[in-house]
């Protein structure tokens, strides 16, 4: 694009930004992002032009307005966890809701299919998970050791293996989003059916309550993180399929950056879930084996861990982002914008 045409196309917008200041955080964020895009283009094609210096000064002014009331300084890591990630996730709340509903439907399909067909769960585990897994699980239940799978290995070895495996599943859920989201949905399908069939086994054997108290100690964080990772995969797929006002390449690169940030943020959650599974669930399974009436932890403690895990997921990824948004905090690129203090 010739410089004259570039100027003609955008000069009214730049004049508006220069002469009509705003204190609205949404508008300020939009202006800042727009100017950064224009500045990047101008620096690429017209690096010595006066218009490039003008755009740079406009962006600088908005940047100063953003930070003129800022009294606290945060490190990059603190800013990421306190503001950047929650605000980033707020942008994709609708995608997260869609992902959660879709995954829940897959779980329900797994349960209904197992109820309707006595062989469905056995066939599913033999074909999709591990041959003989279903029979071994039923055998352990009949021997009075339903959670024996959690006590067969050294806790630390379990911890490393589980954390590595779950982090790998999360990254696959994101990367498979490149296939227009179809790969991510397939992983959601298999994991959802597996969860539904797995829970059906225990409830059908009269161990539903015990399975919730033992397995969901770690499963609450683990399954929630897999759903969030699947959301990141769909963000990647939707970024390519629905570019909006951006070029398809720009939209895909933006979505990829956001998806990987979300995925990387799940690593600590998977590590905590792996710790619960390899140590707490391991302890509970050993206690249950010795005394089938004892799940290994007092029921209030188990419920507290379950409730705390669920509360953390709902608060940090749903409620806290909404709260920040209502307070006028916005995300523009990697920059946090706060509503200016009232004078």
pLDDT tens by residue, 206-222:
888 888 888 888 899 99
pLDDT of residue 167: 93
- Whether residues 103 and 52 fall in one domain: no
51 pLDDT more than 60: yes
* pLDDT for position 134: 86
pTM score: 0.76
Which helix (H) or strand (E) is 331 found in, with range? strand 330-332
Closest CA to 151 of 284, 297, 299, 295: 284
Residue 86 belongs to a domain: yes
The span from the CA of 103 to the CA of 94, in Å, is 14
Residue 71 predicted with pLDDT over 60:
no
Judgement on whether residues 175 and 317 belong to the same structural domain of the protein: yes
**Residue 301 domain-assigned (yes or no):** yes
Calculate the alpha carbon distances from 260 to 49, 172, 175, 192 in Å. Answer: 36, 11, 9, 22
How far apart (Å, rounded) are the C-alpha atoms in residues 109 and 189? 10
**Residue located via tokens 């919730």:** 212
User: Would residue 37 count as lying in a domain?
Assistant: yes
Q: How far is CA 292 from CA 143, 145, 146, 209, 264, in A?
A: 11, 8, 9, 12, 39
Indicate whether 117 belongs to any domain. yes
Residue 282 lies in a domain: yes
Q: What mean pLDDT is predicted for residues 49-76? A: 72
Report which of residues 158 and 296 the model is more confident about. 158
Most distant pair of Cα atoms in the chain: their distance = 82
Does residue 343 have a pLDDT over 50?
A: no
Banded pLDDT at 140 (limits 50, 70, 90) = confident
pLDDT for res 110 = 95
Least confident of 42-56, 89-103, 156-170, 274-288: 274-288
Do both 124 and 59 map to the same domain? no
The pLDDT score that the predictor gives to residue 67 is 60
* Vertex 191 angle, CA 187 and 196, to 5°: 150
Q: Is residue 338 part of a domain?
A: no
pLDDT number for residue 333: 64
Q: Do 122 and 12 have their domain in common?
A: no
Residue at a domain's end among 68, 95, 113: 68
Number of domains in the chain: 2
Please give the residue that has the higher pLDDT: either 73 or 165.
165
Looking at the structure, tell me whether residues 45 and 136 fall in a common domain: no
235: its two tokens: 């963000």
Q: Are residues 171 and 320 in the same domain?
A: yes
Which one of 20, 40, 68 terminates a domain? 68
Mean pLDDT of 121-129: 89
Query: Is the pLDDT at 153 greater than 60, yes or no?
Result: yes
Whether residues 172 and 264 share a domain: the answer is yes
> Is the domain of 145 the same as that of 201?
yes
Residues of the domain holding 32: 3-68
Q: Is the pLDDT of residue 98 over 90?
A: yes
């Amino acid at each position: 694009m010739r410089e004259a045409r570039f100027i003609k196309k955008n000069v009214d917008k730049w004049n508006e930004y220069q002469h009509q200041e705003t204190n609205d955080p949404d508008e300020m964020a939009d202006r800042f992002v727009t100017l950064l895009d224009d500045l990047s283009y101008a620096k690429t094609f017209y690096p010595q032009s006066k218009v490039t210096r003008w755009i740079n000064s406009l962006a600088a002014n908005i940047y100063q307005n953003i930070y003129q009331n800022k009294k606290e300084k945060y490190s990059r890591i603190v800013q990421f966890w306190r503001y950047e990630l929650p605000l980033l996730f707020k942008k994709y709340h609708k995608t997260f809701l869609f992902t959660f509903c879709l995954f829940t439907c897959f779980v329900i399909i797994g349960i209904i299919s197992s109820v309707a067909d006595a062989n469905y769960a056995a066939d599913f585990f033999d074909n999709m998970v591990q041959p003989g897994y279903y029979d071994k699980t039923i055998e352990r239940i009949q021997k009075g050791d339903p959670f024996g799978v959690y006590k067969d290995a050294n806790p630390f070895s379990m911890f490393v293996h589980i954390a590595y495996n779950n982090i790998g599943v999360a990254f696959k859920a994101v990367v498979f989003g490149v296939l227009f989201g179809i790969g991510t949905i397939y992983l959601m399908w298999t994991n959802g059916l597996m969860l539904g069939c797995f829970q059906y086994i225990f409830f059908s054997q009269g161990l539903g309550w015990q399975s919730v108290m033992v397995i969901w100690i770690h499963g609450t964080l683990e399954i929630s993180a897999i759903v969030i990772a699947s959301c990141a995969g769909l963000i990647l797929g939707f970024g390519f399929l629905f570019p909006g006002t951006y070029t398809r390449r720009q939209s895909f690169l933006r979505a990829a950056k956001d998806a990987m940030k979300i995925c990387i943020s799940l690593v600590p959650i998977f590590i905590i879930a792996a710790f619960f599974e390899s140590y707490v669930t391991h302890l509970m399974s050993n206690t249950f084996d010795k005394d089938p009436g004892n799940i290994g932890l007092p029921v209030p403690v188990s419920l507290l861990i379950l409730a705390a895990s669920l509360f953390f997921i709902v608060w940090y990824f749903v409620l806290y982002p909404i709260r920040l948004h209502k307070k006028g905090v916005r995300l523009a690129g990697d920059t946090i914008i706060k509503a200016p203090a009232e004078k």
